Chains A and B, each alone.
Chain A
Amino acid sequence: MFKSIMLTGALLMAATIAQAGTIEMKVNGLVCGFCARGIEKTFHKNPAVTDVVVSLEDRLVAVQTKDGVDISDQELRATLTDAGYDIKSIERTDTPVAAIRDRLKSSAK
């Protein structure tokens, strides 16, 4: 019984990890679109990333990763540091970046 519960739990965890995920990062210092281009450029070079959205208003950088692929917090922090910024928080969600982009456009109107 115990083995079955453990196995089920492990399978559920694996399924969660395997989903295409979105990583939402709150970023400090994000004030200038011209200066923040390094963020998008660097994330687009990452083979794990399929989409990126940046919002100055929300101080947000969100990246969508390929199915079953995650990017470690350490790598995320290094990427933002190399672009000249500091991460305030990191949250993994299942909201597609396209939906975040639509939400940002709606809130800007």
Chain B
Amino acid sequence: MNRLIDAVAAAALSLTFFVPGIAAAKPIAFAHGTTVMGEYGAGTMEELQVFYAPRYFYSVGGGHLALNSDIDGRSRDITYARFNYLVKRWNREGAQANVFAWGGAGNANVSESSGEQFTWNAGLQLDYETRRVYASLKSDLYESSAFSHRIDTLQLGFAPYEHEYDGVATWLVVQGRRYTGEIFDGTETAFLLRIFKGAIWVEAGATTDGKLQAMFMLNF
């Protein structure tokens, strides 16, 4: 299974670099734009983020991440401030690809000990999209003296039709996610329906375990 995930990740990366632009959730919307994102990740993670972009290539903001171990019930509540940076963007005719990186710091409450822990965070996202296909690979690392968790998420999407600017966009997305640090054992796979129109983006679906996976995003 791991080899399969690696192969799919490699394919997504190849797409990112060698095929022309994806409808991926991005931590930077546009200059002077605010992005609000919330995710419910199958009972294993919940996250809320707010970012403001003074320029098109960076945004600042913060978020809250709750991790609940599917293995032993341990939990982490992490509140952080973050800086997101657009490392590289390729705009092509009918396609766009991006490399984003971010870093941040905050505090975490850890279920197995009292008091707050200093936490730092770093991550990377590669995405590629056209009006019909999309791929995104995101890796998000949270470290403290009490824990180390990395969340790797791969998404591959397909649009049954090409949406117009003022129309409703519909995407069918398959998501694979892995956690390190004994949050979840193996790969969590989910099938999602993504819909967006105007400034509102929602996606919802279920994991192969039958758990809810959902996300919303607003850009304004």
Contact = CB atoms under 8 A, between A and B. Distances in A.
Contact of A88 (B93, B131, B162): B93
Interface residues of B, number: 37
Contacts of B219: 34-35, 37-38
Contacts of B165: 33, 36, 54-56
A41 B30 contact: yes
B165 to A, nearest CB: 4
Interface in B164-220: 164-167, 169, 196-199, 201, 217, 219
A15 interface: no
Instruction: Name, among B29, B91, B166, the residue most crowded by chain A CB atoms within 10 Å (CB to CB).
Output: B91
A81 B92 CA distance: 14
A37 B166 CA distance: 10
A86 B166 CA distance: 20
A33 B33 CA distance: 15
B163 interface: yes
Interface residues of A, number: 27
Nearest to A36: B165
A84 interface: yes
Given A31-B131, A37-B30, A55 B164 contact: yes
A67 interface: no
A57 interface: yes
Contacts, number: 100
Contacts of B56: 38, 81-84
Contacts of B115: none
A108 interface: yes
B31 interface: yes
Given A56-B162, A59-B93, A85-B91, A34 B31 contact: no
Contacts of B91: 27-29, 84-86
B106 interface: no
B55 interface: yes
Contacts of A1: none
B26 interface: yes
**What are the 9 A-B residue pairs with the smallest beta carbon separation, nearest first?**
A38-B30, A29-B91, A82-B31, A29-B96, A28-B91, A86-B91, A54-B165, A34-B196, A33-B165
29 contacts: A29-B90, A29-B92, A29-B95, A29-B96, A31-B21, A31-B94, A31-B95, A32-B23, A33-B167, A34-B169, A34-B199, A35-B29, A37-B30, A37-B33, A37-B199, A38-B31, A38-B33, A41-B32, A42-B30, A42-B31, A54-B165, A56-B131, A57-B164, A59-B93, A82-B32, A83-B30, A83-B31, A84-B30, A88-B93
